[in-house]
Amino acid sequence: MDEPSLHLSTGRARYDNNLMKRTVKILLGLIARARIAIFGTRRVVVLAYHSIGDDPWVHAVSPRTFEQHLAWLAKNATVIALEELDRMTEKRAFPKSKKPTVAITFDDGYADWVEQASPLLKRFRMPASFFVTTSFASVTSDPHPGVPIITPSQVRTLSVDGFEIGTHGQTHKNFHLMDEQEVQEECEASMHMLAELTGKPVRFLTYPKGRYNPMHAPLLKRLGLKLAFGGHGSVGTETPRFAAPRVPVLKPMDRALFASSIYRAL
């Protein structure tokens, strides 16, 4: 086989494989949706976004796609604030529902949170929580130069607009690799800065890259945190308060894959 034909064959195989994976995911989502419509669910899906923009970065969901996600949620789900999830977790009381219950979160700290995400969230009247890496220099360990970083004044604007501001650490270090003293320093520095910016206590944490050490839970509780998020999945009565999973949202997720990811997590 000549080289052009080989490239065409490889590209076609990759396309067929991706199409098959997409089809399987959607079918599994439809099956999960049918089960929930019949039996209901007592679980909550916490969505994890990063950037809302047109950059090619895989963690940058386009504003148009994000709008489609919110439109789907408005029609098919109940969207709650993390404060409500905290109450449900504290009481170990998750009401049964025949449609998804969802919370919306964002990680790292990007200017498009104010420019793109916030206006759409306000239009759909949906609560959301923004988790900020407070170095305000490199807000992720995998930086993408095409995505502008949020400023402290923009964080304050999000808080004034009624959105929850949480910590994503001071420097986006891997919590799994840090000892207790390092975790305490990382959290205290970030929480203090965010409290100064917003005038509100910091109650929630998302672990950078979703990595954590369960042994740090008592420390996080002493620091005043209510919930911390890491790992993949949905939240239920058995979920540890400082190891609550989420569902990542990536650029390729159109409306069908987005819905499927929620139902499959439930």
Considering the entire predicted model, what is its pTM?
0.92
Bridge partners (DSSP) listed for residue 61: 52
- pLDDT lower than 50: segments of the chain: 1, 5-6, 8, 15
The DSSP annotation for 89-112 comes to HHHT----BSS-EEEEEEEE-BTH
* Among 60, 77, 81, 70, residue whose Cα is nearest residue 165: 81
Q: What was the pLDDT predicted at 236?
A: 97
Q: Rounded CA gap, 51 and 110, in Å?
A: 6
Q: Rounded CA gap, 26 and 77, in Å?
A: 17
* Among 179, 229, 185, 183, residue whose Cα is nearest residue 204: 229
pLDDT tens column, 53-84: 999 999 999 999 999 999 999 999 999 999 99
Q: What was the pLDDT predicted at 138?
A: 77
The sign of the torsion formed by the CA atoms of 138, 141, 144, 149 equals negative
Q: What was the pLDDT predicted at 11?
A: 55
The packing angle between helices 180-198 and 152-160, to 10°, is 70
Q: Rounded CA gap, 237 and 42, in Å?
A: 8
pLDDT tens column, 213-250: 999 999 999 999 999 999 999 999 999 999 999 999 99
Contact present, 204 and 226 (Cβ < 8 Å): yes
Q: Which domain holds residue 41?
A: 3-265
Cβ-based neighbour number of residue 35 at 10 Å: 13
Bridge partners (DSSP) listed for residue 106: 49, 130
CA dihedral 182, 186, 187, 191 (to 10 degrees): 150
The 3 state secondary structure assigned to 11-70 is HHHHHHHHHHHHHHHHHHHHHHHHHHHHHCECCEEEEEECEECCCCCCCEECHHHHHHHH
Domain containing 87 — which CATH number?
A: 3.20.20.370
Q: What was the pLDDT predicted at 15?
A: 47
Number of domains in the chain: 1
The DSSP annotation for 212-240 comes to --GGGHHHHHHTT--EEEEEES-B-TT--
Q: Rounded CA gap, 194 and 201, in Å?
A: 8
Q: What was the pLDDT predicted at 248?
A: 97
